[in-house]
Chains A and B, each alone.
Chain A
Amino acid sequence: MIKKHLLFAFFQIKSTFRAVPRLILCTAVFAAAVIVIGLCGNELLSDSQDRTVNINVAAVIPEGDTSVALGFQVISSMDSLKSMCRFIAMDHDEAISALRDGKISAIIEIPENFVDDLMYGKNTPATITIPENAGMETLIFRSMISAGAKSLASSESGIYAVSDLLEYYGYHDYVTASQDELYDFYMKYAFNRMYFYDGETVSATGQTSSAGYYICSGIILLLLLCSMVTIDRFSNRPPAVMESLKTGGISKTYVRLCEYIGVVLMFFVLFTAILIICSHTAASEYITLNAGVILSLLLVTASVIAFVMFLCCIGDCGLVSTMLVFLTGAFMLYAGGRIVPGSYLPEIIEKTGNVLPAKSWCTLIESAFYRTPDINAALICAAYAVLFLGAGILVTVIKGRDR
């Protein structure tokens, strides 16, 4: 009886491998689609690196007031502002008209004698005008002004505190000099943010390069898409075949298990072959093969095919199963941040994606390619494989109880 079971398993694998030519053809078609998706995603990431918020602000300066004009030139050249704001000198009417036309996001109006008042300690406010239905740029500008005012207030209070302290201890001669020194320090730090902040590059793709990120996502997407071609392998066999197997001592559970092993082996061999070819061609920069990669690929294949088999058991194969595999696969990859990086997704989608299987499939493949295989991801993949395989067999058994 064991001999018959082994022979049956061998024939299952053999008949599965007969589908390889058809699968290679479909893989080529799907691979083209995956490459297009990868390129689009890569383009999105590259583009986003150069994206800046540009806020146009009208500066209404009193005519002939060179101090204020100079002040605006200084402010405009500050690092913290120049990457976001562009000050355009206008007169009042021009500025109002531009604000109405949506060409600018705000107006800063400096009153006459502003600098003189400032020098004599008189608090003369500058007027800031923003539109009634403010857009995102205006809101950002308002926040900037608020932050700037607070920052200025802090600096000023620091300078005044030092002056008061010197006065208190009788160092009257040092007051003016200390104020000049402190203004210099303040301006130096305000001009160059690097004194305050360490440079840190944050990438949406984590430690992996964009190309590597999309290669890993592409492998999973390709595996999911290609598995649709083999859905017929999991279709219910004709009742006569199942009855004949049953009378021969071969159960439905064993048949399902053999079908699963056959498809997993076929995909594993096919994808390993593709990776071997890629590692010897132009893609060798991103794809290196070692035992960790091979084992991870086997584990991921086992998990993905178990998932597909489960959906086939639910949907009785055919169109329903194909749609289920496609839609759930696409959603899992999207929510897992493998089509558009997670940082671009709504929080709820990102959180959902973190618990879906595609996340651990991609993490395992990515870690195997570019670091060392992530043991946690490997364990989760194995758990998903067992879970989906068990659930698929259970559905088969339950559906087989009809008669």
Chain B
Amino acid sequence: MSLIEVSKITKNYGKKQVLRDITFSAEAGECIGIVGANGCGKSTLLKILSGAHKPDGGSISYNNENPLARSSVFSRYVGYVPQENPLFDNLTVLDNLRLWYCDSSHNLKDDIRNGIIAEFGIDRYLKSIVRTLSGGMKKRLSIACSIAKNPEILILDEPGASLDIVCKEDIKRYMKKYVADGGSIIIASHEESELSVCSRMFLMDNGILINLAPGTALSSLMGRIAGKDDNND
């Protein structure tokens, strides 16, 4: 049985069908990449997989458990890093971390000393108010918060968008480590370097998920990705 089983997921916004019979599966330790034009439904799919949105039809199974029937399954299995900043801007970095670490088996102090928090360099900003941080540091903090509960699945929605190269490299390095430790990643991205970590890739086109052949270069998909920016993600 696969860690992730997604079957015939559909989603409509009004009369517009955004997702059509999305079906795929992923094993533990796999990194799945999803590419596609802006507004093609990538973010919607990731939100459904993380439990933020509900699908109109279809089923999801995590390790043979049905999260659509019991929402606690989502929070147990999934760490979700949305495209925008999901943090509490008027709280400190430490308060944000404490909120997400409070029901985790991970020890926050240990992670600050030599875990992900130290690795991302967040430990230097613990007392800072989140809104004063740079975009890159906010993204690092978002990832740190999302994996506080040590989830088996990490869902990343364009994590490198508008970040500097150092931050992108940090995220890429962490993704490799996460997969190597047996976690699964589902990432939507336009970044070649982030997608290089993926073991499998899909193209989201007009609400349909198309399996791409191994080694497909992003540049070869330009024609199918371009010109669909209707901002429906």
Residues of A within 8 A of B (CB): 1, 3-4, 7-8, 11, 14-15, 18, 238-241, 243-244, 246-249, 403
7 extra interface residue pairs, beta carbon distance < 8 Å, beyond A7-B99, A239-B84, A244-B146: A1-B72, A18-B90, A238-B86, A240-B84, A241-B87, A243-B50, A247-B51
Chain A residues with CB under 8 A of B83: 240
The closest CB in chain B to the CB of A1 belongs to B103
Main SS of the interface on chain A? Answer: helix
In the complex, chain B residues 9-65 whose Cβ is within 8 Å of any chain A Cβ? 13, 47, 50-53
Tier of interface size on chain B: 20 to 34
Give the total number of A-B pairs whose CB atoms are below 8 A apart.
64
CB distance from B154 to the nearest CB of A (A): 12
Task: Tell which of B51, B71, B85, B95 touches A240, judged by Cβ atoms closer than 8 Å.
Answer: B85
The closest CB in chain A to the CB of B54 belongs to A403
Q: Is the CB of B88 within 8 A of A241?
A: yes
Chain A residues with CB under 8 A of B80: 243-244, 247
Give Cα A151 to B103, complex, Å: 88
Give Cα A153 to B115, complex, Å: 106
User: A3-B103, A4-B99, A240-B86 known; A246 and B91 CB under 8 Å?
Assistant: no
Q: Is the CB of A244 within 8 A of B90?
A: no
Contact with A along B139-152 (1 / 0, CB 8 A): 00000011000000
Interface membership of B163, Cβ < 8 A: no
Give Cα A321 to B52, complex, Å: 28
Chain B residues with CB under 8 A of A246: 51-52
Interface membership of B193, Cβ < 8 A: no
Task: Tell which of A15, A241, A403 touches B86, judged by Cβ atoms closer than 8 Å.
Answer: A241
Give Cα A244 to B53, complex, Å: 11
Chain B residues with CB under 8 A of A3: 102-103
Task: Tell which of B52, B71, B91, B102 touches A243, judged by Cβ atoms closer than 8 Å.
Answer: B52
Task: Tell which of B75, B88, B145 touches A11, judged by Cβ atoms closer than 8 Å.
Answer: B88
Q: Is the CB of B50 within 8 A of A11?
A: no
Chain B residues with CB under 8 A of A403: 13, 53
The closest CB in chain A to the CB of B95 belongs to A11
Give Cα A239 to B83, complex, Å: 10
Q: Is the CB of B52 within 8 A of A248?
A: no
CB distance from B185 to the nearest CB of A (A): 16
CB distance from A1 to the nearest CB of B (A): 6
Give Cα A319 to B145, complex, Å: 34
Interface membership of B82, Cβ < 8 A: yes
**Nearest 7 A/B pairs, CB to CB:** A244-B86, A243-B52, A240-B84, A240-B82, A240-B86, A15-B90, A247-B51
Q: Is the CB of B52 within 8 A of A247?
A: yes
The closest CB in chain B to the CB of A233 belongs to B90
